[in-house]
Structure 1
Amino acid sequence: MTLLAAPAFADDWDFVLINGSGKPIKTVELAPAGTATWQPNKVDPEFKKEDATTKVGGRMTVHFDKGPGCRYDVKATFADGATSTWSAINVCDNAYVTIRYNAAGTPTFTAN
């Protein structure tokens, strides 16, 4: 009897990111929580603009290849070149993620 292993394929996933950070977002990257294996948001070439920043309060759809887990870190690069990371967001159970900073300036998020 011969057993064949099926190839592992990543699923395309997406969620809506709401920018509550207080700064325009230039790019977004994702990595499985606790890793540094960043992958860029997959922007459809038809919708890619020269200056595609997401304004404060704006929304963007984040497309990525989902791996075996549900928790991902999200790294935003802002229009001023600064970056921040929001950790361990559950992308399996949440279609909308709002990123912001708490009163102490620490990245925090809400998801639903």
Structure 2
Amino acid sequence: MTKSLISAALVLAAFAVQSPAQAEDLEFLLYNDSSEDLVEFNISPASSDDWEDNLLAGGYLAPGYEIGVDIADGLTTCVYDVRGVFADGSEAEDYALNLCDLGEYTFTD
């Protein structure tokens, strides 16, 4: 794992420990199956009009790699919106995903 990928894992782990463990904590795998580095990843409850902070701040997820994401926001929802920004400036957004049922999310070209 590269230093930046390790940094991204630590950022995601830090996000998970910002609030106490809850039965509602959500864990899923994030895959980058695109041809570009994923440099920004935002996730927000579907009920929100704003994106939460970049969970990859200071890192990236290279093509062909995956990372575990823990959402410990204390909410009882499974329905989230996701947004990815890639090194080439392109963006991908997906809305109202039930991440409890999916267990993973994959960015593709």
Q: Decide: shared fold, TM above 0.5.
A: yes
Q: TM-score, normalised by structure 1?
A: 0.59
Task: Indicate whether 1:78 and 2:86 are aligned.
Answer: yes
Conserved? CA contact 1:77–1:83, under 8 Å: yes
The residue aligned with 2:60 is 53
Q: CA shift at 1:89, angstroms?
A: 1.8
Q: CA shift at 1:14, angstroms?
A: 2.4
Unaligned 5+ segments in structure 2 are 1-20
Q: Within 2, Cα distance between the matches of 1:81 and 1:15?
A: 25
Aligned residues: 87
Q: TM-score, normalised by structure 2?
A: 0.61
Q: CA shift at 1:29, angstroms?
A: 0.7
Q: Within 1, Cα distance between the matches of 2:55 and 2:85?
A: 15
Task: Indicate whether 1:25 and 2:38 are aligned.
Answer: yes
The residue aligned with 2:16 is none
Between the two structures, name the one with larger relative contact order (CA 8 Å, sep ≥ 6).
Answer: 2
Higher helix share: 2
Instruction: Give the number of the structure whose alpha-carbon radius of gyration is greater.
Output: 1
CA spacing shift, 1:96–1:83, aligned 2, 3 Å: same
CA deviations 1:26-83 (Å, max 9, x no partner) are 121111226323223657xxxx8x5x21111211222322533222111012123332
